[in-house]
């Protein structure tokens, strides 16, 4: 039963979290008028899977400071102007887009936290 819990937790964190985050990202890009048909989604997905796997394992194994690490990761992404070479630089309301990127990261990390809690058996029925 424990293996099922781990598989389900990782599916929630990596697959379902990725789907919801990409849905959010596409809606935001449509709202701000930055739909690019040549947008390469492979790099954000690869990074998202890596960060979700990292933080899911941290939550699952109850590592101290994992929440601080999540907040620090979000701050580092924002401080580095994550994606500054992307198409969003052509938009005049870049502050709004940056806030939307921050919210997308929070959604992604929320699924990491939920998946990790499922893996640890703390959020299980």
What does the pLDDT look like over 93-112, one tens digit per residue? 667 777 888 898 999 999 99
For 51-113, the DSSP string reads: HHHHHHHHHHTT-TTHHHHHHHHHHHHHHTTTTTTSGGGG-S-HHHHHHHHHHHHHHHHHHHH
CB-neighbour burial class of residue 54 (10 A; exposed 0-12, middle 13-18, buried 19+): middle
Phi, psi (degrees; rounded to nearest 5) at 25:
-60, -40
A 10 A CB-CB count for 36 gives: 11
pTM of the model: 0.83
Task: Express each pLDDT in 16-26 by its tens digit.
Answer: 999 998 888 88
- Residue 125: its pLDDT value, please? 67
- Do 123 and 117 meet the contact criterion of CB atoms below 8 Å apart? yes
Compute the mean pLDDT over every residue in the chain, rounded to the nearest whole number.
Answer: 84
């Amino acid at each position: 039963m424990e293996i099922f819990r781990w598989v389900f937790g990782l599916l929630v964190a990596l697959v379902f979290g990725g789907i919801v985050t990409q849905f959010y990202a596409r809606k935001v890009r449509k709202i701000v008028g930055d739909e690019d048909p040549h947008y390469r989604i492979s790099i954000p997905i690869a990074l998202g899977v890596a960060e979700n796997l990292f933080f899911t394992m941290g939550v699952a194994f109850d590592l101290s400071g994992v929440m601080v690490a999540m907040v620090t990761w979000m701050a580092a992404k924002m401080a580095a102007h994550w994606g500054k070479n992307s198409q969003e630089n052509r938009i005049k309301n870049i502050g709004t887009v940056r806030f939307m990127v921050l919210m997308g990261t929070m959604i992604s990390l929320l699924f990491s936290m939920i998946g990790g809690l499922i893996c640890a058996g703390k959020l299980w029925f």
